[in-house]
Amino acid sequence: MAQHSLKSGLAIAVLVIIWNVVLLYIGILNIILDPMSVWGYMFFLMGIFVDFMILSCSVRVQRHSYSRVP
């Protein structure tokens, strides 16, 4: 059971990272092509928000794993 949840968690993490790269790429491309457009900045900020969420989740997991006593 733990192996199945590990694989699904890894798949979700890979999908989130791919989605983050897509958001950042679309945002940067829109900002370059049309600097006055709001959509480019929105996509870019959503990508940075996803980055922040990934970092906060990874810090939370590391703190939880260090708090266990062997």
Question: Where residue 40 falls among pLDDT bands split at 50, 70, 90?
Answer: confident
Average pLDDT on 47-68 reads: 70
What pLDDT score does 62 carry?
57
Question: How much is the CA Rg of the chain, to the nearest whole Å?
Answer: 17
What pLDDT score does 2 carry?
53
| Whole-number Å distance between alpha carbons of 7 and 20 | 20
pLDDT digits 0-9 by tens, 11-36: 877 888 888 888 888 888 888 988 88
Overall pTM surpassing 0.75 (yes/no): no
Give the residue extent of every domain in the chain.
Answer: 2-66
